């Protein structure tokens, strides 16, 4: 790993640690956590928003739509996606909170891929267009909903996955 790449990784790791500690951290705190000067941090990232956007993308689902395409059925794909989302949201939530957004890169295309699987298998409810079904699934897989159920209401990952899968299948299929 080059020195520049190593510095960038240290900055991202320090940003994650700062976001876990509190959402309103400063770039000076990131620099201190990375063992770098503030100027060095700004050489890699022009501002806090760019730094958090990079970290959000870094922590997003690595497989994207491929996890939905590789499963044997749309229902299996949905279960796999919900499991992966629940696992990724644990790490992603502090960064989303610090960013002031629940926008997660790649989630909408993932939902569109899942809906296409249901449609291709003839299981998509006839009253739903693929776009509407993807919007519904996008809302159901929101990190904010995960946060409310898991972190606020105390659900475990299995309960979240099971109930969300049931709800999504009920809402989207015939």
Burial zone of 105 (CB within 10 Å; 0-12 exposed, 13-18 middle, 19+ buried): middle
The yes-or-no verdict on residue 4 having pLDDT over 80 is: no
Residues 49-90 have pLDDT tens digits of 999 999 998 888 767 778 888 899 999 999 999 988 998 999
The yes-or-no verdict on residue 46 having pLDDT over 80 is: yes
Could you say which architecture CATH assigns to the domain 3-58? Answer: Orthogonal Bundle (1.10)
Residues 107-151 have pLDDT tens digits of 999 999 999 999 999 999 999 999 999 999 999 999 999 999 999
pLDDT recorded at residue 66: 82
> Minimal CA–CA distance to 172: which of 138, 139, 123?
123
DSSP three-state, residue 173: strand
pLDDT confidence of 2, banded at 50, 70, 90? low
pLDDT recorded at residue 104: 86
**Cα separation values, 119 from 37, 116, 136, Å:** 53, 5, 15
User: Taking the domains of the chain in order of start, what are their residue ranges?
Assistant: 3-58, 60-172
pLDDT recorded at residue 60: 80
Say how far apart CA 119 and CA 126 lie, in whole Å. 9
Cα 130 to chain centroid distance, Å, stands at 22
HSE-up of 3 (CA within 13 Å, CB side)?
Answer: 2
pLDDT recorded at residue 105: 79
Structure-token pair, residue 152: 């606020």
pLDDT recorded at residue 129: 98
Say how far apart CA 159 and CA 86 lie, in whole Å. 11
pLDDT recorded at residue 69: 82
């Amino acid at each position: 790993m080059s020195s520049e790449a190593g510095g960038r990784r240290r900055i991202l790791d320090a940003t994650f640690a700062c976001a876990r500690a509190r959402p309103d951290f400063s770039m000076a705190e990131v620099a201190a956590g990375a063992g770098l000067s503030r100027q060095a941090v700004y050489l890699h990232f022009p501002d806090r928003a760019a730094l958090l956007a990079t970290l959000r993308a870094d922590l997003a689902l690595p497989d994207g739509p491929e996890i939905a395409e590789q499963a044997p059925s749309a229902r299996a794909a949905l279960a796999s996606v919900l499991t992966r989302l629940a696992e990724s949201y644990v790490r992603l939530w502090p960064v989303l909170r610090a960013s002031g957004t629940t926008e997660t890169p790649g989630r909408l295309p993932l939902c569109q891929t899942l809906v296409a699987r249901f449609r291709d298998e003839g299981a998509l409810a006839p009253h739903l267009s693929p776009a509407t079904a993807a919007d519904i699934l996008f809302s159901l897989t929101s990190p904010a909903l995960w946060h409310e159920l898991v972190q606020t209401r105390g659900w475990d990952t299995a309960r979240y996955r099971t109930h969300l899968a049931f709800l999504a299948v009920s809402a989207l299929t015939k």
